[in-house]
Structure 1
Amino acid sequence: MASFGWKRKAGEKVSKSVVQKFEAEEDKAAQDPGDEEVDWVHAVKRRRELLLEDCATRSKRLKDEGAALAEQGRHWEALKKWDEAIQMTPDDPVLYEMKSQVLTILQEVFPAVKAAEMAVKFRPLWWEGWQTLGRAQLNLGEVDLAVRSFQVAIHLCPSERTLWQEDLRWAWRLQRQQSATKEKIRQEEETKRQIDNAPELSRDYDDFESDEVLAACVAVAERQTRYEEMRRTAVIVDAEGNVVTEAEGSGDAAAPAKEQFVKARGL
């Protein structure tokens, strides 16, 4: 069976008048193509602009609704609104900055830092974004990073007094206290090591009634007393940022006197 094919010749069974009319219309279209052509590129761009404008409008509405909810203390609902807005305008730094503030209030420390990092990523010269990032980092315990963030914010807006008087000063106090605490822990560990590996206890004494044995006991007891005092001491930073120590408890413990020990003969 032969396959189907279009074999009709042009003009076959077509009246001459119809052919002339068709050719006349074709010539007219060729002479005036502007009436028939459509700028599809422009139409697509315009459609995209309208869609973006619609997304921006809806995102702003969701942003405002979230802000109102946050002011009422309905923080989780505010976060939901802002997450929807971020889906439409993912490069809006204000959304991330507000989200970080609320997450910090909710003690969601790590997500708060990530949100603030996105805010300064999209607007690196925004001092409020760096301030929020520093506060989130403080809440996470990253004191050194917080100090740097506050310093960047001050560099961008040196006239903002809260950055100097509150944020950076508080971060510096925590930084000094953290350093002093680390040093205190190091001294405690060193003192404990000296107690456990006291050189006086490694010697072989021929006479347990000698003054050397008595002196060794006094030295070990002094180390033990110093270690206990360190454990009862808290590191505090005063209002001026000075590191001070404060003993917890009565603090009546004193270094052992030599009279507190007796020779083996007296036992």
Structure 2
Amino acid sequence: MASFGWKRKIGEKVSKATSQQFEAEAAGEKDVVQNEEGSWLQASKRRKEALQEGCAQKSKQLKDEGASLAENKRYREAIQKWDEALQLTPNDASLYEMKAQVLMSLHEMFPAVHAAEMAVQRNPHSWESWQTLGRAQLGLGEIILAIRSFQVALHIYPMNPELWREDLSWARALQEQQKAARRVDSSEACAQVARPSPQPVPDYDFESDEIVAVCAAIAEKEKTVSANKTMVIVSASGTVETVTEEEDATPPDGAFFIKAR
């Protein structure tokens, strides 16, 4: 049976020259690998940059085509071009802003607000995007939100007279009209509450015993009155007199009166 001893360390009997040669070869191979990896990374980076540049150029072409279509009021075709451009450059805020303008022209306010919000998210420093967002919000009747959007646009570009004179002034005028309408509605509601409500007509039960008894009494009274005789007497001098005579009463003397029919 063979006996086992301690394992010797690798390279214990390797000469120094052989060891140095091995280290040098390993270092050379490492440099080659590093150079190959660097070349591959640089090539990949160049390809990515070229692809991005191509996408940007194609996106710009689609953007210009959409703008030309929008100027000719071919809004649906313009939106289609800009949607294709957004597939290539999804962070282009100007594409969303132009799309929002066209959607407002089509009176599609909810999609317009959404597109303008996307534009503001991608470029919060674009006063055009904030202006378009405010106009879309006005289209939905969101006056307070629109005023805030116009104020942000003015904060970015305070020297724009269009924002001052048209957008913000218009929004504030609408806000005052809304407040006045609410005051009128409130006053009318208060007046309606203060005005006494008419008393409801009582609902009589015409089949109750009390009503039946009253009706019977009235009928009996009318029967008694109808039993009397009513006569119109004209005297010789021309005087007319109405006389009600009961059944047992004695008629007047015919020598003094003439009976008229």
Range class of TM-score, shorter chain: 0.5 to 0.7
Distance in 1 separating the partners of 2:35 and 2:151? 63
Which residue of structure 2 aligns with residue 37 of structure 1? Answer: 36
Distance in 2 separating the partners of 1:153 and 1:159? 10
Distance in 2 separating the partners of 1:70 and 1:57? 20
Instruction: Give, as a single letter, the amino acid of the residue that structure 2 aligns with 1:183.
Output: R
Distance in 2 separating the partners of 1:149 and 1:64? 27
How many Å apart are 1:116 and its aligned residue? 0.7
Q: Which structure 1 residue ranges, 5 or more long, are not aligned? A: 1-25, 203-267
Bigger relative CO (Cα 8 Å, ≥ 6 apart): 1
Q: How does 1:243-262 map to 2 (within 5 A)?
A: none
Instruction: Give, as a single letter, the amino acid of the residue that structure 2 aligns with 1:61.
Output: Q
3-state SS of 1:78 partner: helix
Q: Rg larger in 1 or in 2?
A: 2
Which residue of structure 1 aligns with residue 182 of structure 2? Answer: 182
Q: How does 1:51-200 map to 2 (within 5 A)?
A: 51-195=51-195, 198=196
How many Å apart are 1:190 and its aligned residue? 2.2
How many Å apart are 1:199 and its aligned residue? 7.7
How many Å apart are 1:194 and its aligned residue? 2.7
Deviations 1:39-93 (A, max 9, x none): 2222222211111111111110000000000000100100010011111111101
3-state SS of 1:37 partner: helix
CA distance 1:36–1:163, change in 2 (3 Å) = closer
How many Å apart are 1:33 and its aligned residue? 3.2
Q: How does 1:3-42 map to 2 (within 5 A)?
A: 30=29, 33=32, 37=36, 39-42=39-42
Identity between Structure 1 and Structure 2 (%): 54
How many Å apart are 1:193 and its aligned residue? 2.5
CA distance 1:36–1:171, change in 2 (3 Å) = closer
Instruction: Give, as a single letter, the amino acid of the residue that structure 2 aligns with 1:52.
Output: Q
Superposition RMSD on alpha carbons, in Å?
2.4
Instruction: Give, as a single letter, the amino acid of the residue that structure 2 aligns with 1:37.
Output: E
TM-score by length of 1: 0.60
**More displaced, 49-58 or 64-73?**
49-58
Distance in 2 separating the partners of 1:125 and 1:158? 13
Report runs of 4+ in structure 1 exceeding 4 Å deviation: 29-32, 199-202
Aligned length: 174
Deviations 1:87-115 (A, max 9, x none): 11111010011001000110000110111
Instruction: Give, as a single letter, the amino acid of the residue that structure 2 aligns with 1:187.
Output: S
Distance in 2 separating the partners of 1:183 and 1:107? 30
